[in-house]
Structure formats: C-alpha cells, structure tokens
Amino acid sequence: MNPVKMGKFITELRKEKGLSQKDIANHFGINDSSVSKWERGINAPDIYYLGPLSELLGVSIKELLNGERKKPKKTKLKHQKKVLELKGVEKKFQKKVILKDISMTIYEGEIVGLVGPNGAGKTTLLKSILNLYSISKGEVFVMGRNMQQNFEEAISQIGSLIDGPSSYSDLTGMENIKVVALMNHMKDLGDSKILVEKLKLNHVIHKKVKTYSLGMKQRLGLVLALMKKPKILLLDEPMNGLDPLGIKELRELLKEISQKEKISILMSSHILSEMENVCDRIIILDNGYIIDDIEMEEIQNQEKTLEEEFFTLTSGSHHQIGGEV
C-alpha cells in the first residue's frame, strides 16, 4: 500500500463525485484535517473508514488500497455453472455489523480460499451460507435455489465441516457413517468406504470416535461431509490437527474431488502456503468486507506469493490497514 498514491486517488475520485474534503469529513463525523492527511498521504484511512469510503467514492476497497482503478477481470465462460451465489449479504449481531455487502459467486469445480485476519468474519460467512446464522440482508443461492425460501433443497447440495468435526463420540467411525447414511436415505456405503481408505481411517473406523486424535476426527468429518456427494463443500480450517503428511493427503484429495467429481470447495485457513497450493481463487476478507477476489494465476503472474498479497492488503493484522484517523 502506498499512502501517497492512495491519497492522490482519493482526491481524484472526490472531485469526480463533486465532493469537498468537508463533505467527506461531515459524512464520517471526523475533522477536515483527517481527510486532508489522507489525501496528502500522511495517513491512510483505517479499515473502518475504507469500506464506507469505497462505497461513497464508487470503487472497491482494493482499488483504494492500490491507488488506481482495477483492470476488468476475466469473465467466466457462460457454460460454467454457478454453484453458490451471494448477493449483498449482511449479518448483524445486535447493532454490530459483522458482514457488509458480501457478493460473490463460486463456479462448478472451483476451489476458493477464504482468508483474512482473526475476526474478519470468515466463520460467520460460512455459517451464514449454511443458514446457521440468519442473514440480516441479502440473498444466498445454492444451485439456483434460494437458501431462505427453499432451505431443504438448497442445504441438500452442501457438505460442511464447520467449528471442527461433528460426530457421535460414543459411536464408532463406521456407526457414524451409517447414521449419516440413514439420515440421507443412502443404501450403498461403497463410496464412503473408498473415502475411509483415501483418508487413512481403515485401522480406526471400527473404534469409538472418542479414542480418535483430533486429526482422525477431522478426517472422519470430511468423510461424513462428502458422503452425500454435495455440489459444494464448505470447510473451516480443515487442516487443523493434521500432520504434514495428513495435510499433503488432504490437499491431494481436495484437488481430486474438485477435478473428477466437479465438487466446488470454499475453505478458510490461516495456512497461506497451503491455500496457495490448493486454491484456484482467493477471497480476502477483513472487518466484514471483501478486500480482494483474485485468481491465484493472477497473483503468480505478478511474481508474488499469496502471503505478499495478503500482507499488502491487510497490513498483516486486523485494524492495521491505516494509521490514525
């Protein structure tokens, strides 16, 4: 982020909109001198101002951070199916806005990474998609079905692993599989047994889950999430508890199911190097806003790493994009 370049861009946009520094200061309830410092590059606006400022000036947060308008993105081919679509999603807890104007689309067979500092809203976003949290505004569509209006049809297309693996600890792994099969009216467990083998659970599948390590529970959770052959898989920190070999095997499994089964995946993780290895596209979230939505290929073409892109846009941690107001 170059504060001077950003400041000049803010000045340019402000004049295009016919706004004075005082107009912007009054809009946010701050001093004229603060806006003047932004435009002179002395201070960059804090993340709390960047979102509303981008809306006021009619550009994205990333464009503000980069100090220039973004080049048009490559459009997806018309034949690519939209598996998940969010339109203007907002989530409030009492008066606090956790997610603000989230709009995104995930296509068939894509692996999309969701990254951001702690408290950015990643888990809230995943839970809002699943309707575990009712959204305050906007719409969520799964395979064209509105999650709020056609919940059962929409949720049947989603597999998920959120807040850690969910299973019955007093049952064996195989008994958990049979419970999920019964709930989803599945008679053939052949695919589940293949998943058990791929995820290296053969030796413990007939033992009670309470004897499993965290990594084993995580892998069983993936088996249960994939059993019904969902169109999209939502994963919150799926690499937690896995050793290096387990992470490598998970990476290969996710790539395989996205390519061969055409299952889309939206996953959050703090392990940026792994996200770089497995994802086709990255969405960076901070303070409830989408800061960037970028193809991994685009990052690599700029000869940058995901970590560099992440730190450039978020300054490394929550509340630190800018300095003083």
Collect all residues with Cβ–Cβ distance below 8 Å to 293 and sequence separation of at least 6.
Answer: 104, 281, 282, 283, 284
- Which SS3 state, helix, strand or coil, does residue 265 take? strand
pLDDT of residue 143: 95
Give burial (CB, 10 Å; 0-12/13-18/19+) of 235.
buried
pLDDT of residue 322: 43
Give the mean pLDDT per block of 10 residues along the chain (325 residues): 86 91 91 90 83 88 84 61 94 89 94 92 94 93 94 93 83 92 81 85 94 88 89 91 83 89 93 90 91 88 84 57 41
Query: Residue 143 and residue 125: Cα distance in Å, rounded?
Result: 18
Q: Which domains does the chain have, with CATH numbers?
A: 3-72 (1.10.260.40), 82-157+230-312 (3.40.50.300), 168-219 (no CATH)
Among 150, 183, 143, which residue's Cα sits nearest to residue 263?
A: 143
Query: Residue 233 and residue 151: Cα distance in Å, rounded?
Result: 16
Q: Which residues pair with 208 in a beta bridge?
A: 172
Longest C-alpha distance within the chain, in Å?
70
pLDDT of residue 211: 94
Exposure on the CB side of residue 130, measured as CA atoms within 13 A: 19
With residue 156 as reference, give the H or E element that holds it. none
pLDDT of residue 167: 85
DSSP secondary structure letters along 70-124: PPPPPPPPTTSPEEEEEEEEEEEETTEEEEEEEEEEEETT-EEEEE-STTSSHHH
Both tokens of 167, joined, read 């299973």
pTM beyond 0.85, yes or no: no
Exposure on the CB side of residue 188, measured as CA atoms within 13 A: 5
